[in-house]
Amino acid sequence: MGDPKPTRAQGDLAETLELLLDKGVVVNADIAVSVGDTELLGIELRAAIASFETAAEYGLEFPTGTDMERVQSKADHSSENSVQPSPEDPKEAPHQSVNQSAKEEQTSSQDGE
């Protein structure tokens, strides 16, 4: 009987990466290499891995030159983003402006009726 080989679905890596960027990951490590009582190498690692939108939601600092207005608008949009099922016919899909939330759209559509 042959040894079973490990298998991996095609989407696993992409899904994992998307989850990591969406939720964020913090790596905090202290590494020391010593011989006897003498420390030869010391490394302190502090890293946060996240999408810009997730980092903005948690208030992380960004490098100079980052377009903060764009990052903040993306973070605001993703926090108020609600998933709505799309209709089968694209002609019947509700139209939403870029700066209009789903609640504002519902209010404006009710006012127009």
What CA–CA distances, in Å, run from 86 to 7, 38, 90, 98, 106?
A: 34, 64, 8, 17, 15
Could you count the other beta carbons within 10 Å of the beta carbon of residue 66? 13
- Over its length of 113 residues, how does the chain's per-residue pLDDT go in tens digits? 567 777 766 678 888 888 888 888 888 999 999 999 999 999 999 888 888 888 888 887 777 877 778 777 776 776 665 444 444 444 444 444 333 444 444 444 455 54
Question: What is the pLDDT at residue 35?
Answer: 92
Q: Which 8-state DSSP code applies to residue 29?
A: E
Which pLDDT does position 44 carry in this prediction? 94
Is the entire prediction scored with pTM above 0.85?
no
Residue 68: predicted pLDDT: 75
